[in-house]
Structure formats: C-alpha cells, structure tokens
Amino acid sequence: MNQKFFDLKKEKQDRIINAAMKHFYLQGFKRASTDDIVKDANISKGLLFHYFVSKKGLYQFLCDYALRHYFLEVKSVIEINRKDYFAIKKQMEFAKMQLMKTYPYLPGLLEQMKMEKDPLVFEEIRSFQEAYIDFLEEIARTCKKKVYETHIDEEKLRNIVDITLEGIYQEFMRQESSDWDVFYGTLVEYLDMLCMMAVKAPSLQQKTLDSMN
C-alpha cells in the first residue's frame, strides 16, 4: 500500500475505506467489484490502484485496518474483572457500535474475512484470520461459567448468540439506519433474553424430563 494514502483528507480516506468494506462484506473477495467500489467512493480506479496496487492489496489493507481498530476499541471498553459471558458480550457489542458510527461495515467485514477461503488471497490474510479467531477465543476463555450449566453446550450457546446478533446487524444495515442507540438497545434486549433462557434452560429441561416419567 502507498503510505501516501494517509496523506489524504480523513473524509476521503473514510469514504474509500467504507465503500471497499461494504462491497467486500456483501460480496466476498472474489465477487467484489473495484468498479462498484470506486463508484461508491467517488474516485477513479486509477487513484484506487495508485494507493493499493491491486484488489488484493486493498483487501489486505482493509483486513489489517479493521482488525487494528477492532482490537483497540474492544480492549478499551472491556472490564477485565467482568467474567460473565453476557456482560462481556454487551461490552463487545458496544465497542462495535462505536466503530460503526464511522465504519458501518467494519464488524461485517471481520466476519466475512474470518470465513474467506479464496486461494488468491487466503495466504495473505491467514494471519489476520488467526488473530481475530484467537482474540474471540481468548475473550470466551475469560468468561466464568456463570450462565452455563452442565445441561448447556457452551459452544452451541455462543453460536446461537452470534447468529442472532449477526441477523440483527444485517437487518439494521439493510434499513440503512444510523440510529446507533436504537441498534445497540436492540442488541441488549436480545442478549438479555438469551441470557434468561440460558439460566432457565436446566430447570426447564428437568421439568420436561420429570413430565415424561
């Protein structure tokens, strides 16, 4: 990447970054079109390649850029002494919401990057994928099993939470809303509901078993 990219005005930097994040998130590396990116960013393709050389160079830059911003924001809000999974999840979602005020597609890009398998770029982004996955797993390990009981599969519970929140995120982005307080409030409502279900699950399961006997 041409370091002169950061000499551009911040507004123009963010316009390029947001346009590229949007298309890579929505379409993946292979199908994302640089024609669409430059159209949304309102720049020439020549200028894009002047700074990033290629689509692969642009994608690598975005993965690195998104990961650095994500780590800084999440680490700034997470309370180390809070070990409850749902409490930490709320803090992580708050960090994402703060990032989305400037980069709406940043969380989505990270999730897309985590799943990206295109051989044209896979080796170049593997370290970013591993760093992102390791960070998420580290957060999960710090969470005390407060809401988990022996009847609950922790991995499945986390998957349910992640799928639910991703659905809310996608719906919010489709609406092209910028009411971040409403967005975060909706996430918290769902997290509270899932937490209550997780806590009650063992007793509900036992009641079901008792009724069958």
pLDDT tens sequence across 106-158: 999 999 999 999 999 999 999 999 999 999 888 877 765 554 454 667 778 88
Structural domains in the chain (count): 1
Is residue 69 one of the residues assigned to a domain?
yes
Residue-wise pLDDT for 145-196, tens only, equals: 554 454 667 778 888 998 999 899 888 888 877 788 889 999 999 999 988 8
Of 37-46, 104-113, 200-209, which range is least confident? 200-209
Is residue 148 one of the residues assigned to a domain?
yes
**CA pair distance 46, 36, nearest whole angstrom:** 14
Is residue 210 one of the residues assigned to a domain?
no
In sequence order, the 6+-apart residues with CB closer than 8 A to the CB of 109 are 21, 24, 25, 62, 63, 66
Which domain CATH number covers 27?
Answer: 1.10.357.10
Is residue 47 one of the residues assigned to a domain?
yes
The yes-or-no verdict on residue 210 having pLDDT over 90 is no
Confidence of residue 6 (pLDDT cuts 50, 70, 90): very high
Is residue 205 one of the residues assigned to a domain?
no
The yes-or-no verdict on residue 207 having pLDDT over 50 is no
Question: What is the extent of the structural domain holding 183?
Answer: 3-200
Is residue 32 one of the residues assigned to a domain?
yes
In this structure, are residues 52 and 102 in contact, taking their beta carbons and an 8 Å threshold?
no
pTM: 0.84
Residue-wise pLDDT for 47-103, tens only, equals: 999 999 999 999 999 999 999 999 999 988 887 666 688 888 899 999 999 999 999
Is residue 101 one of the residues assigned to a domain?
yes
Q: Residue 116: its pLDDT value, please?
A: 96
Is residue 174 one of the residues assigned to a domain?
yes
